[in-house]
Structures are given as C-alpha cells and as structure tokens.
Structure 1
C-alpha cells in the first residue's frame, strides 16, 4: 500500500497502471467507513499477491486529485488500467463484494504469469472477440439500431480495425449531421486517417509542441496535436489540449474544438449498466470530470 500525493501521482498511479491494475482508495482519517474498507483492501492486496497495486489518497490533503476524479463521497475506490479509470465503487463494501469487483476486471491468477512480459495496454480482454461478434450480430439483426452500430463501430476502431469500421459505418454516414454520436465516430475516424497519413508521428508531435511553445494561440497546432493524441487513444491528453483552445477562444473555427471534445466524451463513455427501476447508473469518473471542466470553461 502506497500513500499518493500530487507529486508522485503520475508515477505511482498513471504510469504504474500501464503495467499493473492500480486500485485507488480515496479516504479521510475522520471517516468511519474508511477505517472499515481500508484494512479489507490491504488484506486483499496481500491475498491477490501482485495482481493489483493498492494506493491511498487522503482526499482532505489532496483536494486537487479528489476534484480531478469527481469524488463526491468517501470512501470511493477506483480501479485504473492502462492509464484510465475503468470502474469503481463507493462506501465500505463487504470483503466478498470487493472480491467480486476485483475478479470482474483482474486476470485470473493462472493468467498472470503468462501476461507478465506483455505490456498491459496490449492485452485485450479475453472476451473481446466474443463482444465484437455480439455487437456485429446486433447490427445485422437490427440495422436501424444506431446505438448498436455506434458501439460496434467504436469497438472496431479501438481494436485498430479501421477498414472494417468504415465498412460498418458506411450505411449511416449520411446521418452524421443529425445524430451526434455518429458524428463523434466520424471525427475519430478522421483523426485516425490524418495520423495514419503522417510520415513520422513523433516528429509531427514535436513540431506541434514547438509551434505551441512559440505561440500559445496557435490553435491549428493545438488542434493538430489534439487529433494526433486522439488517434493514439490518449483521450485525456487530447481533451486537455482542446481545453487550452476553448479557454482562449470558445468559438474557434466554428466550435471545432468543443465539438471534438464532445466527440471524445462520447467515445470514452462506457455503455450504461442496467440498474433497478428508479435508480441512476453511476457516471464514469473520467467522463464526469471532463464534462464538468468543459462546462466550467464554456459557461465562464
């Protein structure tokens, strides 16, 4: 268990989660439920023997980090994989429920050794192929279901199958002006096409950085950098760059930065889980945080 502050957050959480799932416990010393869940998480870290890394963030002392994750109550526990939050829960759950939460996301113990040498971001969920088949079947069964098509095309794009994604997207391409999420897919495909056409993406990124350093209002360079980050699936970095444009010129280039930012939110928002009638499913922490940031900039 590691205590994390703003100074070591990037190393101990973001960078670490590229190689190993990181469980972040937002707590406060005065909270009774935190004193209950804390020992449970520490026990499970020992029991799971390296299958995840536990870190603790004092939400009173590290208010900037708590705000970045949209923490509204404590304890809140968030699991990060590949640099991104993937799931979380609030409150002091019993040990059995926390195990169920972990087992839903962590590779089985027998798989761990086989995956050690592969970078975490290159490992796909075991059921990724089955999920794609399920989405493909949903589209084939109901071609007019734009929600199913959105999820199917998105899954193909994120899996690097851009040609297949374009084929699946073709029947609805005329609807992009009217259906926002389809427009969001088009923007992602455009960004990927631009990135694929660069002779050297690393050099292009360096050129963008140099232009921005010389002129912070070089919005074309900022937008080019954001689209390159978007194509690389570095979502939060891309949105941070688009926010830099919006903070200086909210309506730049016919709202291009804002529309692209919203497209990223559409792409990264996971499908809402089914909940009991009358209940509201929890927001994804990253999506909720970046929605608030957009609102604060656009409405200021």
Structure 2
C-alpha cells in the first residue's frame, strides 16, 4: 500500500474521471472541508495527497456513530478525519453511473459490517464533491483509500474481488494498530450483540444438554463423548463442533498451572506437545494472536504427525474463536500458505 492513491492508467475496472476533474475547478474551500492540497502546499505531502488532521490518534477511545457506512461531502469531511483517530476509515470514491462502483460498493459495505465497528466506510459521490475528488487524486473511479489518524493511505483503483478486498482490510487494520488507532465504534441505537433475548431460551438438544451438565460437574471426558455423539449424528452441527473444541481445551488444561506449562515450553522449544500446551494457555486467556502466531510459526518446522497435530489444533482454535473473526480469516490464510 502506498501513501498516495495509485495512478489509474492501465488499471482494469476503473472509469476515467479526467473530464470531471478538469471541468470542476476547485471552488473556495468550504468550512470544514480539507484545505487545497497541491504539490508543496501547506498541510500536504509533496504529491498533493489529502491533508492530515491535527492531533494524535486516540486508539483507545470508542464512540457512537449514526452508521458504519457514512455518506461524506466536501463540507463534512473534517468529521471523518476526526473519526479516523479512533478507527481506520475506508474511503470509497464512486458515482451512480459507474458500473465497476456498483460491483465494488456492496463488497466494501459487507466487509465493513463484518468488522463490527473496527472500521468505518466513507462514501464520496464523485459527481457532487469535486474537492475530495481532487484531494484524493481520483482520476478514475472507484478509487479506494484509507484514513488512519487523519493521514491518507492509497489502496487501489477499480473493482477487485472480495478476497482481495478482504486482504486490503486486514492490511489497513494492521497499519492502524501499529499507529495506535485500534478503537471501536458502535451504531447509535443498535442493540448490543450480547444483549439478552426476551422470553424463554430454546431448550438444548439432548446431547448438548448432557454435555453442558457434565461440564458443570467438571466431567470433561463425558462432555467430550456427548459432543462427539452429537457430531456423529449430524456432522453439520456447528454448535457441537464448537462445544467439543471448548471442552477439549478445558480437559487439556485441567490440573495444570500456567507456570508449569510455560516452564515446560521454555525448557523444550522444539517439543511440539509443550508448544501446543502454551498455545492452549494463550487461547484460554484470550491471547488469540499469540496462540495463532506460536503455532503458525511452528508449522514450517515440523512434519508428518507433528505437523498434523498442529494443524488440527489450529482448526480447533478457529472453531473456538469463530470462523468469521478477522483474526481467524488471516490465520487460516497463513496456514493454507504454509501447508500448500
């Protein structure tokens, strides 16, 4: 990724905007809009990219927004710069008549929703916001950029498939975290995801209930067997798959102290079982990235049964965390690359 939106020449899936930019000579700067950012202008870099907002990033702060997808104008852009000190903001410069934009915009909106407040999407209509078109050097649309802590980051021009756009989101989030922009926003009036449902809960299927009761009594072996039976009866029972992963983790950690596990791993850095145990400890404590990183680093160094054991444990972790979690998506991609 570059610091300035890439030039569009020769890129597929992009619509030329040069005539729009040429005829829309920049008017006087409106209140709250970004200052003119020509080459060498104050508040811009040498290439004329959009100016950064003042102040440092407020990565630990959270706030409420009307929506995760915001329609932004020349006049309201200053608000987006401020939001980018809390979460990274993806900027989508588009137009109603642009075919590639209609392919890309739903992908951007879907991914933004999936990241659940860790990123915002700012949509800029190129027809009505010439200042932002020029500030982002959007000679073709769709042009997609990011704002992190008020600073612009060029991403890509033209319509890309979902898998590639997802990779871009991961890179933006990683860059944002490195710059201390790692907050979360909530949508005004949204019901929290963990809010209790009204009414009586649905009863658990019989084997699930038996497993739950066994866990309550500390009988992990019985719980494991109940979940395995449920999966044998219905291989698509994702609740049972996740439950089996959770109780298996509890069973492996049962009776072992953190000091014992970490000491054993430190004494035998090449011992696969010792490293798996530390990863269990990390995942149980919520240190997901540490657990993933430890095992993913281990994959290229082991072979045969040891490699398969590491792979199976990672897949188990994916079920524990949730297959839609961005950390799981990134780890699954890295695992596939290491294996194949």
The interval holding the TM-score normalised by the smaller chain is 0.3 to 0.5
Work out which of the two has the higher radius of gyration on C-alpha atoms and give 1 or 2: 2
TM-score, normalised by the number of residues in structure 1:
0.48
TM-score, normalised by the number of residues in structure 2:
0.43
**Higher helix fraction (1 or 2):** 1
